[in-house]
A and B are shown apart, each in its own frame.
Chain A
């Protein structure tokens, strides 16, 4: 099974800060990596698919990059509404794994 790690597990940043989250796969997954945002009490929301493609309607301050085993998710200018937990998710041979999540707070 492919394991996913995320770092950091939590972070606090100021409004307007650039925020970066990393996700690492235990083996090469090409670009088969998606990112989700989950706010408390809500279902997750897809933000980025195939490592770097912005889902329709998602603000352009969100971006993703990477391939192989190492991936990065970036919020270019943190906004108050971005307070949430962010998860990466890989798919390999149609088996799926989520990362442990990164909780983002406002400092």
Chain B
């Protein structure tokens, strides 16, 4: 059974760096073809893809946010970490991590999401 769970601060101040951790079980990020992605959703708005990391350490980023994002993995801990620099109130959103497979690049298992508010 595949599960994912996001963790991190619920409140960050403008200009700070956000660090979110996705802890998963039921699969390994050392298995060929497997990936974990991050997607966010501002309150009342649409989903926005942020980043994706694959078993082979291939990393992809949203072009509009690439300069602010870093995605890394710790295979031994079954974790993926996303950092986003220079946070702004417009970055207030629910942040989700999700499991993916490179062949279809869909997100078939999702975490419950974590709401991050950016405010001074």
Where the two chains meet, the residues of A that have a C-beta atom closer than 8 Å to any C-beta of B are 1, 32, 34, 36, 38, 43-46, 49-50, 55, 87, 89, 91, 94-101
Contact = CB atoms under 8 A, between A and B. Distances in A.
B26 interface: no
B110 interface: yes
B47 A34 contact: no
Interface of B is mostly: loop
B106 A34 contact: yes
Given A32-B105, A96-B105, A101 B52 contact: no
B106 A94 contact: no
Interface of A is mostly: strand
A3 B64 CA distance: 13
A42 to B, nearest CB: 8
Contact of A101 (B46, B63, B96, B112): B46
A96 B46 contact: no
